């Protein structure tokens, strides 16, 4: 593995911010904003690889596998964050997306020195989660050379699982090892080597795409509405009612009644209202449609003819 970190894009000097320490507060945030504008353009360049990863993730879930994000430091934290937000947003099985960070959960709040340098600990962490050939591993490392993540990807390939890399250094070791390399060139950081900045933003954007697009393709969305959300607080309960009303066109009272009759299952309430079927029949239609609202409505129309 290349030991000369100075060759990495993420470790190079950004000439546009060389006088950072002499800038006013407004000048600092302005130059940071200017640099951040480069991130979505860089992500745009790798969208075909992101889409390829999404299709692999969908196939993995359909075949009974799981998606594992693994990383160290900021990368690891972003992976854990994305995985943790999938169950409430999409009613996804908590095992579908799992985030692992070098150093364990305590590393989410406090730096665990040396954790990212132990490739064998990554193997142990995956084994403890029951990682197997049916699963898919997303290795997150802005440098593309983090030993912990490299060890994880090597182990995943050893057991026959598919691998995705998300890095900010094109041509990296991690990218070369992975089946689907997503390597974004956001350029040198505003603060040299501080990859929680542009690199972290790029990784967050890509993780948003990976999980959201996967859930859309898995039927967790109707139109652009999160019809499979878990109404676990007042805000989400209000959103659930509004979604039902928006799709079906019923009154607030009718939406509330259907929602409660359907045990607060948004998709079931939508199908029941739009087809005139009982909650039980609505659930049956959704099962036949693999959870897809649009397909369930089509099935109901075919049955009524």
Task: From the candidates 85, 237, 254, 256, give the one annotated as an active-site residue.
Answer: 85
Question: Annotated catalytic, 44?
Answer: no
- In angstroms, the CA 237 to CA 266 distance is 10
- In angstroms, the CA 233 to CA 157 distance is 41
Indicate the Cα dihedral angle 285, 290, 293, 298, nearest 10°: -60
Question: Annotated catalytic, 85?
Answer: yes
- In angstroms, the CA 294 to CA 219 distance is 9
Sheet holding 180-183, edge to edge: 97-101, 67-71, 136-140, 162-167, 180-183
275, 285 contact by CB (below 8 A): yes
Please give the positions annotated as active site. 85, 116
């Amino acid at each position: 593995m290349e030991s000369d970190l100075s060759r990495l894009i993420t470790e190079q000097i950004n000439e546009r911010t060389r006088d950072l320490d002499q800038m006013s507060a407004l000048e600092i945030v302005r130059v940071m904003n200017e640099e951040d504008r480069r991130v979505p353009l860089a992500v745009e360049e790798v969208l075909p690889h992101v889409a390829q990863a999404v299709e692999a993730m969908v196939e993995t879930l359909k075949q009974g596998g799981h998606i594992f994000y693994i990383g160290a430091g900021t990368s690891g934290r972003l992976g854990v964050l994305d995985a943790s937000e999938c169950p409430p947003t999409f009613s996804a099985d908590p095992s579908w997306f799992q985030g692992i960070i070098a150093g364990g959960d305590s590393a989410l709040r406090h730096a665990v020195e040396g954790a990212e340098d132990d490739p064998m600990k990554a193997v142990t962490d995956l084994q403890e989660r029951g990682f197997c050939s049916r699963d898919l591993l997303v290795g997150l490392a802005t440098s593309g050379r983090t030993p912990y993540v490299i060890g994880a990807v090597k182990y995943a390939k050893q057991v026959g699982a598919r691998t995705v890399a998300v890095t900010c250094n094109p041509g990296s070791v991690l990218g070369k090892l992975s089946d689907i390399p997503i390597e974004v060139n956001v350029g040198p950081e505003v603060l040299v080597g501080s990859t929680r900045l542009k690199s972290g933003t790029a990784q967050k954007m890509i993780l948003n795409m990976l999980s959201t697009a996967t859930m859309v393709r898995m039927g967790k969305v109707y139109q652009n509405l999160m019809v499979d959300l878990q109404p676990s607080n007042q805000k989400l309960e209000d959103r659930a009612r509004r979604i039902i009303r928006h799709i079906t066109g019923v009154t607030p009272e009718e939406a509330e009644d259907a929602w409660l009759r359907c045990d607060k299952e948004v998709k079931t309430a939508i199908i029941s209202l739009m087809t005139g079927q009982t909650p039980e029949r609505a659930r049956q239609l959704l099962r036949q449609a693999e959870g897809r609202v649009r397909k369930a409505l089509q099935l109901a129309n075919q049955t009524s003819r």
